[in-house]
Amino acid sequence: MATAPPRVYGSRTIGALLPRVVRPAFRSGSPAASQIMADWSAIVGPMLAAVSTPRRLAAGTLTIACAGPVAMELQHYATELISRINTHLGAASVRALRFVQTTAATPAAAPPPPMPPEVAAAAETAVATLPEGELRSALAALGRAVLTHEARGKRWTNRAR
């Protein structure tokens, strides 16, 4: 009959709990691949990030999707890209690049809808009594963001709960 591990009563460090919490997430994909996909724009720059997308990292080979002519250009930058990626990750995780050509470039993000005029007026009215300066500008911008968010029917939630 197996016995249960002894319970530890008291506080434990986050470092002791973290492996147990993140193990299921890392089982499905490598942390290096997740980091590359999350920081792609910072790694390659906005120009290349607009026309290419990292797809998969397996056995040291990073697969990048891009439009036809861009694949040729990226092939010329392959050694520099590998160096930049590995420097960003802090380890030699990528040894080769594989390019997959797509028929179209990656779609650009849709521009946000225009701010309703009553939102801007309400935000300016709320900070009208404050003296001119950075604080007033920051609070007006915050007010516009909150009121725009609410005007679009979205609800603010506290995700810490």
Residue 78 shares a structural domain with residue 51: yes
Per-residue pLDDT, 74:
83
Residue 123: which domain range?
117-151
Structural domains counted in the chain: 2
Pair 40, 80 in one domain: yes
| 5 belongs to a structural domain | no
Cα–Cα nearest to 78, from 44, 53, 35: 44
Residue 128, CA distances (Å) to 73, 117, 121 in order: 53, 17, 10
Together in a domain, 122 and 75: no
Residue 82, domain member (yes or no): yes
Both 76 and 133 in one domain: the answer is no
**CATH number for the domain harbouring residue 90:** 3.30.300.180
pLDDT in tens, 94-141: 888 888 887 655 455 566 677 778 888 888 888 899 899 898 888 888
Judgement on whether residues 45 and 81 belong to the same structural domain of the protein: yes
161: in domain: no
Q: What confidence tens digit (pLDDT) does each residue in 47-89 have?
A: 888 888 888 888 888 888 887 778 888 888 888 888 888 888 7
Helix ranges restricted to H, 1-157: 14-28, 31-38, 40-44, 46-49, 68-76, 78-89, 117-126, 134-151
| Residue at 81 is within a domain | yes
Is 73 contained in some domain?
A: yes
Model confidence at 161, pLDDT cuts 50, 70, 90, reads very low
